[in-house]
Structure 1
């Protein structure tokens, strides 16, 4: 059966262009009512435009249903008002894609504290604001699908993006707790790590790669991760039509005692500690403690 979103209400932040626009257009094409949120600023977060209204015009011209919202994700009151307007018009909110973001790239040595705080505020706190604004509604209606936008920078690092990487890995961590808290309310939470040719990357990608990495080639993963039968707690990489699964793993480790319970002991047993044989993919933080207890029981009979 084909995935559709008939009668679902979706909010997509940062949907005035790039990935967000692609998500909004596809959601509307597949039947969703879409709130197109975009402050319309430049990629460093300055300025404004009517980008959201233009995407709404595209959706309506194709026969879809949408409304524009120009609120800032950094302002919780504005996000709560956005959710209230969506509920007033369409009766609920079923899907949230946290996509809004900015870049202020510099090496950490040259990065100001203000640039660090601002990027974290937009990506991490902004996504938390939007999610908090829909959380009770989704719990009450016993249905919700939330997608956080991480990045390869957050998962694996990238020179000159300390602020961006910190925020993006924080979003993966937020997902991993919210999927636990939302489970009994049928609220599923996932993370996407997209690689796409957008306004954020236009001076990074060569022209040929820019075309190959079109946002439309990421959108299928995003829509699957907010569909009715979506998984929860997944981290999916997507770009140029290639889709990947990313996992945070834990090795069995090594129990050190006596003289080995020292910095020198850590150094001496580093190969055992980092041996990936038998590693697991924990589904909650409790599993780290459980793995430690398992080591203690194994060692001491």
Structure 2
């Protein structure tokens, strides 16, 4: 998604001379067009993410449209205190962009995995998270994030639509498959990785797959159609490339309980661990966590 993100930012920069972009010495072989378009407004803050976030907060306080970029764990984990104290406590609309969310940097090990990122960030006040599903989502997501008066965490991953799939128009919630089965809610690009497997099922058993791209639920309520499907089936599966604690699964379960919705079955697929005996690609680590399409189908078939 970095290329599509760069394209969207180049377009935004051309229309907004007040925009500044900070990078923690990352983005090479991807963000050069943005650097060329922005000139001195593109700032390499160096390998100093805490300082970068504090500088971003100060620039935002002066009225600039500020975006700060790094790979995901260096974007939210290393400068967490600065995000908390300098950005969110002062209600500043700094846009933090983390590349390689989830197990995106798989072979580089747990220091480079971001599997608790949006849960950590959404514990802070005045914060929203955007987790695009498809490459095509980046232009509308950048526009929506840029128009928000909240601090933003934008988690970039890898678009995983099936070959020939027509991506629906962007919305915070989108139904990607339809059938007579239970409801599946998947966060971000993980949803795209399930489409082909779910579409292979008979219509009567085929789950209704929903993709969510904006959190928390208080800023982005579930649509009425989704509510109706959950109530009618009494079954729900939430899948996310994020640890169980503070993820969407627990937020949805609490959301339903608060409203008196009792489910017959609730499944939660999530990132199981930071540490594994062996490391491999993002797909490999998803299989290790039971987040791949085959694991999803097996869970749904088990009842």
Q: Same fold (TM over 0.5)?
A: no
Higher helix share: 1
Q: TM-score range by the shorter chain?
A: 0.3 to 0.5
Higher strand share: 2
